Structure 1
Amino acid sequence: LPNDELWLYDLENGLWLHESLLFQLYSVDLQDERFSWRRVTLRSGSLPSPRDKLSCWVHEGRIIYFGGYGHKPLSAIHDPKSFIVDEASWAEDIFWGWNNEVQEFDPERSRWTEPQTFGRAPPPRAAHASASIGSKGYVCGGRIKETRTSDEFCLDLNSWTWSEIMTHTKTTLNDCIMEHQNKDKPRLWHTAYQGRDSDVVVFGGSHDYILLVDKGHCNDALTNAMYFHRLCQDFIASYAGMFQYQILCLPPKLRNAVQKRTIFFRPSTESQNVE
């Protein structure tokens, strides 16, 4: 073993565990010019199982973690729907796999809890991205076994209720079809953040499992509008030629917003042939 690394040996299972696979929490004071790190001591609750490639949100002073890839003993796997075993990476009673668990940490009380969630939860995954807008936490993409996903889910951080964002649904308006343009662009190891228009912006990542196949990283930015009025603005802007007279009749504030979106869609609409 390397001299500058710390490993632990599980006497019961006969397995070596690297320190990086332990669920440990550290904090740094960003207002302290020394930027000193300290290890957070647990006061109550149970530590989550070790995992990596997870995501988190911050809401009302609490840190909420979702998903990831890690290992559990067989006795800790209670629901096969919340933990998918990686059949190629298990040894005796230790199973590796993907989870869709929600874990909450309260820094003031140094306490871990696992809230009960409701609704249809996302399938277990890792290497996904997440972003929060207000009291809503969004999950996008990731890896589930050998599958790369582009699905999106929303968790209400107050009621702990999951809902799926049906980005593949088509909506008809005046015989025109408005379809989400990113449904066929799976991502993993990407980032997500809140945009200026209350939408979620996804950037970069990979559409392949780069440990096996690497066709290059993505450098594009994908947006997903979360509100109906924004979807309507995008639809009108993408067909500005069809609605050019109706746009002039809109209230000034709404007209300006649509015209700004028209500039964004102009490169893609020049090649469209709308009858």
Structure 2
Amino acid sequence: MDTGAESQCSELVARERSGHTAVVTDDNLLYVWGGYVSVAESEVFLSNTQIWVYDIQQGVWEVFYMTGEVPPPMSGICGCFLDGQLYMFGGCDMNGQTNQMYCVNLTDGNYTWRKVRAKRGSVPSPRDKVSCWTYEGRIIYFGGYGHKALSDIDNSNRNFIVDEAAWVEDVFWGWNNEVHIFDPAQTSWTRPHTCGNTPAPRAAHASATSGCKGYIFGGRVMETRKNDIHCMDLNTMTWSEIIPVTPSPVGRSWHTLTAVSENTLFLFGGLSSNCTPMSDGWLFDLQTKKWTEIQHPHGNKPRLWHTACLGRDSDVIVFGGSCDYILLVDTGHCNDALVFQMQPYPLYRICEDFIAKNVRNNELLRNQLHFLPPKLLSAVQRRMNFYRPSKKKSAQ
């Protein structure tokens, strides 16, 4: 299977970064916000007033400036796209982990932030490297690393594992396996009762939603990086662990998991159990419970703390992240967009890509472009930008 391409046509590209958030909208635009880079020996948060938009069809970047109740610069945020809005929860700012939520409409062109203030329910404790699923208009959050007061830690059910290296007086940091639900329509938080085999606390894991099921894979707790896969029935709030019938990928953190079809999840990259940045790609069949490692053209591009979003024709768009073990060497932040083809393209897409890729060097094609139907001609002209020579210029 042809599994990808790398866009390199845009003259201006978003700055390299890790720990950012990214979503793809219905019009096949990738929105990127936040994250951090390394400058000398310091970690520097990127601008909180800029949102970068990548037209996946053309391979062209634009930057827009944001107003309103703008979030502080952050990394490790959990972002998702729901009903035209980008919702962001948690993350780490200059003061450490936060439990604030912000949203912005990505469809009206105004890019005006709004801080979300819950009307009902208890907001989860501050945390970052948390994941989420979206289902029936709600956002369901799981896990993460953050801090709690000693009085709020319930050791009876082991839903919070204390990081013994991080505490101040009666405040302790650690990993959790809590589930919290945010309902945007009601502006409310709830802590549902869950059943079944609950996963161990963790952070820097990856999640994906398929139908009425939410899935998580891997993640870190203490010095362990896991390779287990769990399923949450989002109707009944029931956990179950999936035991694969084939060998699983190695344990990892800071990877991504993307639902590419009703029955298939795509796992990419991360930091392995022996702290090696990974570039391997795996498909998991939810029906047969089989893992299959796939060959792809980005095998020389390890990534961790990147983002992965589902685009047109089930393409997976991976942006940013680091190619280093960022806890030791933190210089390898990236800003390329890697495109992974997950299924055969429809004939329309094949024709569009073939013409756009070859028209500049084929006089016959150039002379016959005007014969194309208007819709296809417009698509080809946009796609031609994707294949034009690159003069990359990163934003500073």
Give the structure-1-normalised TM-score.
Answer: 0.69
Distance, in Å, in 2 between the alignment partners of 1:42 and 1:123 is 28
Match of 2:34 in 1: none
Distance, in Å, in 1 between the alignment partners of 2:221 and 2:131 is 15
Question: Alpha-carbon deviations, 1:154-190, whole Å to 9, x = none?
Answer: 00001000000012xxxxxxxxxxx42325x112101
Q: Does the Cα contact within 8 Å between 1:122 and 1:153 map onto a contact in 2? A: yes
More strand by share: 2
Structure 2 gap ranges (5+): 1-71, 74-92, 293-396
1:218-233 equivalence runs, <5 A: 218-228=278-288
Which of the residues 186, 189, 192 maps onto 1:109?
Answer: 186
Question: Alpha-carbon deviations, 1:80-123, whole Å to 9, x = none?
Answer: 51000011111221111000000000001110000000011000
Q: CA deviation at 1:79?
A: 3.4
Match of 2:3 in 1: none
Q: Does 1:78 align with 2:154?
A: yes
Aligned length: 202
Q: Does 1:32 align with 2:108?
A: yes
Structure 1 gap ranges (5+): 7-16, 168-178, 235-275
Q: Does the Cα contact within 8 Å between 1:182 and 1:222 map onto a contact in 2? A: no
Q: CA deviation at 1:205?
A: 1.1
Question: Alpha-carbon deviations, 1:7-55, whole Å to 9, x = none?
Answer: xxxxxxxxxx954522000111011112221111211111100000110
1:1-275 equivalence runs, <5 A: 18-80=94-156, 81-167=158-244, 179-183=245-249, 185-196=250-261, 198-208=263-273, 214-215=275-276, 217-228=277-288
**AA partner of residue 30 (structure 1):** L
Higher relative contact order (CA 8 A, sep 6+): 2
Give the structure with higher Rg (CA): 1
Q: Does the Cα contact within 8 Å between 1:154 and 1:165 map onto a contact in 2? A: yes
Change (3 A) 1:43 1:123: same
Structure 1 stretches of 4+ with a deviation exceeding 3 A read: 17-20
Q: CA deviation at 1:214?
A: 4.8
Percent of aligned pairs with the same amino acid? 49
**AA partner of residue 219 (structure 2):** G
Q: Does the Cα contact within 8 Å between 2:257 and 2:267 map onto a contact in 1? A: yes
Distance, in Å, in 2 between the alignment partners of 1:101 and 1:157 is 14
SS in 1 for 2:253: coil
**AA partner of residue 258 (structure 2):** Y
Distance, in Å, in 2 between the alignment partners of 1:192 and 1:202 is 5
SS in 2 for 1:75: helix
Q: Does the Cα contact within 8 Å between 1:138 and 1:154 map onto a contact in 2? A: yes
Q: Does the Cα contact within 8 Å between 2:210 and 2:262 map onto a contact in 1? A: no
**AA partner of residue 135 (structure 1):** C
Distance, in Å, in 2 between the alignment partners of 1:89 and 1:188 is 20
**AA partner of residue 227 (structure 1):** Q
Change (3 A) 1:119 1:35: same
Match of 2:19 in 1: none
Distance, in Å, in 2 between the alignment partners of 1:197 and 1:78 is 37
Change (3 A) 1:130 1:96: same
Q: Does the Cα contact within 8 Å between 2:264 and 2:286 map onto a contact in 1? A: yes
User: RMSD value over aligned CA atoms?
Assistant: 2.3
Q: Does the Cα contact within 8 Å between 1:28 and 1:35 map onto a contact in 2? A: yes
Distance, in Å, in 2 between the alignment partners of 1:72 and 1:104 is 19
Distance, in Å, in 2 between the alignment partners of 1:197 and 1:64 is 19
**AA partner of residue 189 (structure 1):** W
